[in-house]
Structure 1
Amino acid sequence: MRHTRISGLAPSRSAPPTGEAGALLPRRDLAVAWSLVVVIAALAWVLTIGQAREMGVEPGTMGMALPLFLVLWVTMMAAMMLPSMAPVAITWARGIGRQSSGWTRAARTTGFAGGYLLVWTAFGLLAYAALAVTGGLVDDHPTAGRWIGFTAFLLAGLYQLGPLKNVCLRHCRSPMGQLMRYAGFRPPARDLRVGAHHGAYCVGCCTGLMVVLIPLGVMNIAAMAGLAVVIFVEKLWPRGPLLGRVVGVAFLVLAVLALFQDWLLPGLSASVPSMGGM
């Protein structure tokens, strides 16, 4: 059987075993990479929290124009997704290894991250459209808020328990096999394409979790932090898939409760009438 050697990912004969921390990337570079991840994620959280405090939690797009929304959305995604995406990006950087200079590795890793965020930006367009529609509905029909919340939690729960979630989560938990497929890709933009491919799987993995931001509020810091923890644990904990299913069941329970409990709908609360008005 013919085996294809993966340029940039397969270790050279002179390389130490891949299980060692510095097998393909010097330990100093690994430390710098992880430090950069921490700094960027922390900065994204600071910016997101600061903006959320100014805007509060309101229904729909909160009056934001699309360009501003996308800027905030990408910042949110960097804060929420970067910790769980970092191992894949650093794996890619390790695969580049000593075949490239430090600056080249940095540029290629940046291309990977750029492709990843590009996919999440595209998903932000869908998120903006969904928020605009639901925001308009609850403004025109206040009682629709509960049914929107019910539907969002229901769809999120079913998605968490569905086959597409399982396929995408399996990729995100073990991306090396997918990264190896890119041996035939040629520059330019190979790293951008790899990042976008992984980003597409990540979107597929997290779509259900993102849907609940409609009833919980897109600028709800507590909800974002909770979802970020779920995403991180799903992808990196050995029993992550089990957690995903537990979260799916919890969403189905919340779907029923959303019809009666207004506090579960802070993202729709401005338009949800009290129980006395039902």
Structure 2
Amino acid sequence: MAHDHNSKEKVVYVGDSRVKKYKKNNVPLDYSAYPGNSEAFIPNFLLKEWMVGSVFLVGFMILTMSHPSPLGYPADPTKTDFVPIPDWYFLFMYQLLKYPYTSDAYVVLGTLVLPGILFGALMLAPFLDTGKERRWYKRPIASSLMFLSLFATIFLTMVSWQGYQHELEELNIIPEHLERAEKIAAGLEEPGGKEAEPIAIVNKESEGYEIYQKASCVSCHAVDLNGVSSMPSLLGIGDKHSKEEITDIIYNGFGSGMTGQAQANLDAGLTEADLDTLAGWLAEQKAPAGEEAPEEATESH
């Protein structure tokens, strides 16, 4: 440029051609620039799917740890009052196989053909439905099949569960995991599935035990005091009732489930002194120190 101080002189800057100009653009292209005018599968779409899957997996693990799966007892082929049922996510298939056209002579249709068509169509959906429209109401065929499948799955699951509950009520069966929870709450079983140590009969050589074996009590509560069928155990009853209370139960009954048994025992040959001895012996039936008597002992029949 000029070296004098003329303000009207034009100033021209000459750049150095040895310095290269780099143009950096860190902003990714819009999805419309990609083939098909959609989001790039790798890495954009795949990364989002992985993130959603990871969140779902963490939530599922937390749910599994906070609510352990209900466990029944070991399989017993001689148990005839067991009602089998699959996990909840297979209830719809379980119900489907109950219908005549998917069982018996058509069992292959219900177990192989129909599930194969459904899951095969799900796998082929991206190849069969190649339209670019994303709004569900503008894709009538795909949307109708989706809603139909969703409705059928929910309906079959509900019908299967209601049928299972109805069957339990008809057969008067308590599911094994509920039965185990009740036993754990009553102290008859430990949470790990280990049977709790039974409470032993106290003073088995006493005259009271001989009288008990002759009394009508033994027909409902068994010789070992463990109870028969739905009748409660008398082991540890001394922790719940005193001798006076047991005497009152023998004469007047207990609640609405038991009537007084004194007269029946007197008619069978026992005396009032025998019943007093029996009440005293039953009051001695207490759990060892550090153990609790089962709740069933409070409902002496």
TM norm. shorter chain > 0.5 = no
Structure 1-normalised TM-score?
A: 0.27
- Report which of the two structures shows the higher radius of gyration computed on alpha carbons: 2
Please state which structure has a larger fraction of its residues in helix. Answer: 1
Structure 2-normalised TM-score?
A: 0.25
**Which fold has the larger relative contact order, with Cα–Cα distance below 8 Å and residues 6 or more apart in sequence?**
1
